[in-house]
Amino acid sequence: MKLNKLFLKFCASAVVFASASVAHAAVEVETARGPVTFEAPVGANVAIYDNAALDTVTALGVMPKGITTNILVDYLKDVKQGDSIEVGTLFEPDLESLNRLKPEAIVIRGRMAPNFNILSKLGPVVDVTNTGVSVDNSQKLLVEMGKLFGKEERAAELQENLVKELELTKEIVQDQGKALMIMVNGTKIASFGTQSRFGYLFNDFGWEAADKNDSAARHGQPVSFEFIRKLDPEWLIVMDRSSAIQAKGENARAVLDNALLKDTQAFKNDRIIYLDASSYLASGGYQQMMVELQLLREAVQKAHAK
């Protein structure tokens, strides 16, 4: 059924935005569209249309009832429980299922933003769209989700853990030489610099960028094997997009297995780091950040142990 038809259908029914509980003080959650006030922290009867938010909310100890279909992040697959309701995809809501859920809150990000007005007829919308992936934005997400669910103490604890993990990793990677961040998508390769979606690797984690011709393009700057060989980075950090989205075809390891890359410092010294799929699918979530920080730190330690 078309969204506009469902929109007209559901506009006819009344929707209660506030939590029924009066045992708690009202909470104000900061969103990309301004503050949203709830009469009290919400429970698990929420819909979440963003993997980073889902990542963070589950880390807080909440198992939301409204989830999207086909969750590909390994550590988030258990979020689907017997009473879960699939409320659409990351791109398009299932309004009938969402109406059946009667959500206390609906959490969205950029991909779902065009549906804001429709969704707001079915529940209060918390838009967590931000300026990009960074440690600061991950902490802000923790704070706001902590307020929304009444988990402020847990959020503060997780913030402390994140800061500690960041400092441990920065201490190890900051003097490791230049790193090139690339994404492999089938046979296509793109590099990502300090102003890109992977800029936090350099701006927050402490790597020195090998590619000084930076690009703010979200999907990166197309590059060739010859470019990588000429740049000759000491470290190569790889996001295998094809594997992350479970696409058919060769994975990144197979694509990068060629004579040109074998002639780079990174290949010769076994300094190629393959990021976890969550770095693409749930970028900016608390657990994603923790997984990536630990992965990078252990990769450097392993390289130096040889």
**Domain boundaries in the chain?**
3-150, 174-305
Interatomic CA distance for residues 263 and 189, integer angstroms: 18
Q: Which residues does 47 contact at the CB level (< 8 Å), separation at least 6? A: 64, 65, 66, 67, 87, 98, 101, 103, 105, 106, 107, 123
C-alpha angle with apex 228: 223 to 229, nearest 5 degrees?
140
Q: How confident is the model at residue 175 (pLDDT cuts 50, 70, 90)?
A: confident
pLDDT digits 0-9 by tens, 98-124: 999 999 999 999 999 999 999 999 999
Are the C-beta atoms of residues 276 and 44 closer than 8 Å to each other?
Answer: no
* For range 88-100, the mean pLDDT: 97
pLDDT digits 0-9 by tens, 61-77: 999 999 999 999 999 99
Q: Where are the alpha helices (DSSP H) in 42-134?
A: 51-59, 95-101, 116-119
Q: Which residues of 244-283 are buried (b: 16+ CB within 10 A; e: fewer)?
A: beeeeebebeebbeeeebeebebbeeebbbbbbbbbbbbb
Q: What is the CATH number of domain 174-305?
A: 3.40.50.1980
Asked whether the whole model's pTM tops 0.85, one would answer yes
Residues 3-150: name the CATH superfamily: Nitrogenase molybdenum iron protein domain (3.40.50.1980)
